[in-house]
Structure 1
Amino acid sequence: MNTQLQLHKPVQKRSFLDKIKPNPKNAGYYFIAPIMVLFCVFMVYPIIRSFILSFQKFDAGHYKFVGFDNYILLFKDDIFLQALKNNFWYLIIQVPIMILLALILAVMINSQFLKYKGFFRMAFFMPAVTALVAYALVFRLLLNTDFGFINFILSKFGLPRVDWLNGEFTSKLSIIIAMTWRWTGYNMIILLAGLQGISEEIYEACDIDGANAVQRFFKVTLPLMKPIILFCAITSTIGTLQLFDESFILTKGGPDNATISVAHYLYNTGFRFMKFGYAAAMSYVLVIIIAVLSLIQFKFAGGDE
């Protein structure tokens, strides 16, 4: 009986240098590693740190753990509740009007009969790229009670001057007008892209079936535009609940906190009164509200489809 002996080559241990030697298969990870480090330093860490901070209170030079006291105190804070009410007031009134105007403008620009489409696209989109502070200051001048251009026009028609920035209702209306002017063109561009993505063959089939323009819009265009409109509604909701510049610059939160937003009050709490724990708790309550409203919109509009 012959016995064959097989000699196995001894396994060599990989050195440390061999282990850390770059592998071409992992090249993609090497390229994104610097960005991921920056993302963790400037995004992930601040999120975790602010969440921990929301359970703390700055007292006598030290942060002290206070549990859920900051969150409980929020719902007993009259200014926070007023700011939250103002944000919802802006959301309910401004967002539907803005999206409706954006859709009308998008349909008009997408029309075959309109000339100079490039000019109109640029003109309507320009407010969205205007500096926030600059546009708020311009509106502050336009709506000035004594020498504002709007009151000048009203006086030419024999109408009384309006105290746009100091009345409880008119100050809210001023913010809504300013926000609508700034963001309608931005949403119009998104909706226009959606309209241009609808195949012409669908409209040709509608013409063959004898559908008129109104029927085409409500039976074909709107259903196909539903995901785009939902996207605009969600992003506009998030933006409105994060409203800061208009409240801070245009009305300064007045009169008597009638126009103050949650983000404006958060800024005052954290950077004027140095209550960083309380401000952090406020920010996370705002995040939860935004997430819940976005989920409701998504489910209500059939986003799963």
Structure 2
Amino acid sequence: MKNSLTRKIMPYTFIFPALLLLLMFSIIPIIISLVINFTNLDITGLGNWQAVKFIGLDNFINLFNDNLFLQSVVNTLFYVVFGVPAVIVISLAVAIMINFGQNKFFKLMRLVFYTPSITNAVAVAVIWTFMYNPSTGLINTVLNSLGFGSVGWLTDQHVAKISLIILAVWKAIGLNMLIFLAALQGVPKDLYEAAELDGASWWQQTRHITIPSLKFSIFFVSVTTLIGWFQFFDEPFVMTKGGPLGSTNSVALFVYQNGFQQSNFGYAASASFVMFTAIIIATLIQFKIQRRQQNG
């Protein structure tokens, strides 16, 4: 009886540390954030809990009447719509091209493309800020030498978002490329040999063998990339502070501005809850599409 009970309890002892960390640093903060959503908690309330009042849905009502928040939502959707496909397509293309080469040059390319992913995001953003400088930056200097005019990479409302996307895509390619490369190693070589015997071209092999074999990897990268772009923060925070005129502000940066700069914790928690809900919905949609493709 004792041995049977020990065998039942033993598996839970192995996962208990992970569950404890999950509870302390994920589940409990989420619950606290849900409670804060419905209060007027600010810096005064941290010193005097009696000043904290339950205000119902007022934070959410004010959010959807806040032009700055609505603008940050539109900006975040812009980042997601253009950034996610760009990361997936480019990293997949790079992985396929590198996978076909076996010499030292292609091994070096793996390092070249992966290095930005492990480089400090703030340091990279600072360097790119200098490169984007309208008067002395490297990019405009090259454009001017070629006879083109200068571009306000971070000062033009319409160009600034694209500038941040270019940097974020460049930085995200490496990690996703490695995921695709690992998946490509598992594709049976016999399939390519049989396709060559049948006269299939490189593009036909890629279309009918490589990409279908990477369905799960593409799905995984799509989900993780989508979540990352919904939480887009580092680049606009370091490079533009959400400007010019809020044109690069994201929901994550909006939460930071209201929570840590203006100390409106209840209001910021409500904005973060909206972002959290959007991420959950988008992820569930992707899971549903993946399930349909598997069943179809």
- Any gaps of 5 or more consecutive residues in structure 2? 46-50
Match of residue 94 from structure 1: 83
Distance 2:95 2:149 in 1: 35
Q: Look up the SS of the partner of 1:159 in the other structure.
A: coil
Match of residue 190 from structure 1: 179
The structure-2 alpha-carbon separation of the partners of 1:280 and 1:304, relative to structure 1 and needing over 3 Å to count, comes to farther
Match of residue 244 from structure 2: 255
Structure 1 vs Structure 2: percent identity of aligned residues? Answer: 39
Matched AA of 2:271:
M
Q: Look up the SS of the partner of 2:214 in the other structure.
A: helix
Q: Does 1:42 align with 2:19?
A: no
Shift of 1:23: 4.9
Q: Contact between 1:108 and 1:114, CA under 8 Å: does it hold in 2?
A: no
Q: Look up the SS of the partner of 2:154 in the other structure.
A: coil
Q: Look up the SS of the partner of 2:40 in the other structure.
A: strand
Q: Does 1:153 align with 2:136?
A: no
Distance 1:239 1:152 in 2: 32
Match of residue 51 from structure 1: 34
Q: Contact between 1:227 and 1:303, CA under 8 Å: does it hold in 2?
A: no
The structure-2 alpha-carbon separation of the partners of 1:54 and 1:28, relative to structure 1 and needing over 3 Å to count, comes to same
Match of residue 176 from structure 1: 165
Q: Does 1:212 align with 2:201?
A: yes
Show CA shifts across 1:10-40 (max 9, x none).
xxxxxxxx9xxx9576445445444443432
Distance 2:188 2:33 in 1: 47
**1:68-147 matches, cutoff 5 A:** 68-112=57-101, 115-147=104-136
Match of residue 11 from structure 1: none
The structure-2 alpha-carbon separation of the partners of 1:35 and 1:96, relative to structure 1 and needing over 3 Å to count, comes to closer
Q: Look up the SS of the partner of 1:116 in the other structure.
A: helix
TM-score scaled by length of structure 2 = 0.89
* 131-140 or 156-165: bigger deviation: 156-165
Shift of 1:259: 0.4
Distance 1:250 1:77 in 2: 24
Matched AA of 2:30:
I
The structure-2 alpha-carbon separation of the partners of 1:200 and 1:228, relative to structure 1 and needing over 3 Å to count, comes to same
Shift of 1:42: 2.5
Shift of 1:191: 1.1
Show CA shifts across 1:87-120 (max 9, x none).
1111111221221111111111100465433211
Count of residue correspondences: 285
Matched AA of 1:233:
S
Match of residue 48 from structure 2: none
The structure-2 alpha-carbon separation of the partners of 1:103 and 1:45, relative to structure 1 and needing over 3 Å to count, comes to same
The structure-2 alpha-carbon separation of the partners of 1:139 and 1:124, relative to structure 1 and needing over 3 Å to count, comes to same
Q: Does 1:289 align with 2:272?
A: no
- Any gaps of 5 or more consecutive residues in structure 1? 1-17
Q: Look up the SS of the partner of 2:53 in the other structure.
A: strand
Distance 1:201 1:48 in 2: 52
Matched AA of 2:238:
I
Q: Look up the SS of the partner of 2:232 in the other structure.
A: coil
* Structure number, greater radius of gyration: 1
Distance 1:265 1:258 in 2: 12
Q: Which has the higher helix share?
A: 2
Q: Does 1:280 align with 2:269?
A: yes
Where do 4+ consecutive residues of structure 1 move more than 6 Å?
Answer: none
Q: Does 1:203 align with 2:186?
A: no
Q: Look up the SS of the partner of 1:146 in the other structure.
A: coil
